[in-house]
Amino acid sequence: MDNAHDGIAIADMEGRLQFSNLAWAEMHGYSPAELLGKPLAISHTRKQMEEEVLPFNKKVLALGSWAGEVGHVRRNGEIFTSWMSTVVLRDAEGKAVGLIGMADDITERRRAEEVLARILTEREAILKSIPDLFYRLDAEMNLRDWNAVFERVSGYAAEELKGMNALSFFKTDKKAIAEGIEEAIKNGQAYRKGRLLTRQGTEVPIFWSAAALRAADGSLQGLVGIGRDLTVK
């Protein structure tokens, strides 16, 4: 258990630590020897104990095991969150004698999730602010992102647009648009006039721009651009 990546600790029924591996100890800013015999409260704030740890352990004792997010505190006072998986330890007669828990510090994951949520919120705000049709295609030229203007002008619902190929939106000007796509892939950007074929079968004149999206290694990730509705004055 000392070589395990996750923190592992064993506590008796009085809530005193009987064992902690190196990962658990270092996660909290201690050595295993410093934690031996210490109460569980050394790893949590008072609020965490009352609102998270005690209710969590109550479920463990009632069900035999439980898993979920639990707040912890490091020796330096830094708060962090772990994913805890805890099981009741029983003696030969089935009597509960302690708890063994595994903790995975998910602080960075939570931060990444928060950053992603903020990015997505900002992205939605940006898309809503664009007065023209916005689109993003993947490397196969299938639609992956668009804004409400694209939905309104094309006449398609969101669930219909996902994955549609770029050329399926054109009829009369399909050849010109295909050439524009090739130009954007080759030169990095392109501009074309092309009538958008709507779901209702009508064609709307649009001035399109396209820019290539590439990964750090130069591989094509897709195209992104906007379309200006030429019928709007």
3-state SS record for 70-136: EEEECCCCCEEEEEEEEEEEECCCCCEEEEEEEEEECHHHHHHHHHHHHHHHHHHHHHHHCCCEEEE
Q: Using alpha carbons, list the distances in angstroms from residue 228 to 73, 130, 137.
A: 54, 11, 17
For residues 142 and 216, membership in a common domain is answered with: yes
Q: What is the pLDDT of residue 4?
A: 54
Q: Using alpha carbons, list the distances in angstroms from residue 179 to 141, 193, 205, 208, 210.
A: 13, 11, 17, 12, 12
User: Is the per-residue pLDDT at 120 higher than 80?
Assistant: no
Q: Is residue 121 part of a domain?
A: no
pLDDT per residue as tens digits for the range 74-88: 999 999 999 999 999
For residues 220 and 183, membership in a common domain is answered with: yes
User: Is the per-residue pLDDT at 3 higher than 70?
Assistant: no
Q: What is the CATH number of the domain that holds 29?
A: 3.30.450.20
- The larger pLDDT score, comparing residue 121 to residue 172, is at 172
Q: How confident is the model at residue 29 (pLDDT cuts 50, 70, 90)?
A: very high
For residues 100 and 165, membership in a common domain is answered with: no
Question: What residues pair up with 170 in beta bridges, in sequence order?
Answer: 196
- Its domain, for residue 140, covers 130-229
For residues 21 and 103, membership in a common domain is answered with: yes
| Buried residues in 91-119 as b, exposed as e (16+ CB within 10 A) | eeeeeeebbbbbbebeeeeeeeeeeeeee
| Contact present, 121 and 132 (Cβ < 8 Å) | no
> 């669930």: which residue's tokens?
159
Q: Is residue 78 part of a domain?
A: yes
Distance, in Å, from the CA atom of 131 to the CA atom of 134, rounded to the nearest integer, reads: 9
For residues 22 and 76, membership in a common domain is answered with: yes
| Contact present, 143 and 161 (Cβ < 8 Å) | yes
User: Is the per-residue pLDDT at 67 higher than 60?
Assistant: yes
Which of 4-13, 16-25, 71-80, 150-159 shows the lowest mean pLDDT across its residues?
4-13
- Percent of the chain predicted with pLDDT > 70: 98
User: Is the per-residue pLDDT at 114 higher than 70?
Assistant: yes
User: Is the per-residue pLDDT at 24 higher than 90?
Assistant: yes
Q: What is the pLDDT of residue 56?
A: 94
Q: What is the pLDDT of residue 128?
A: 78
The total of structural domains in the chain comes to: 2
Q: What is the pLDDT of residue 93?
A: 87
Residue type, 228: R
Note the pTM of the prediction, 2 decimals. 0.53
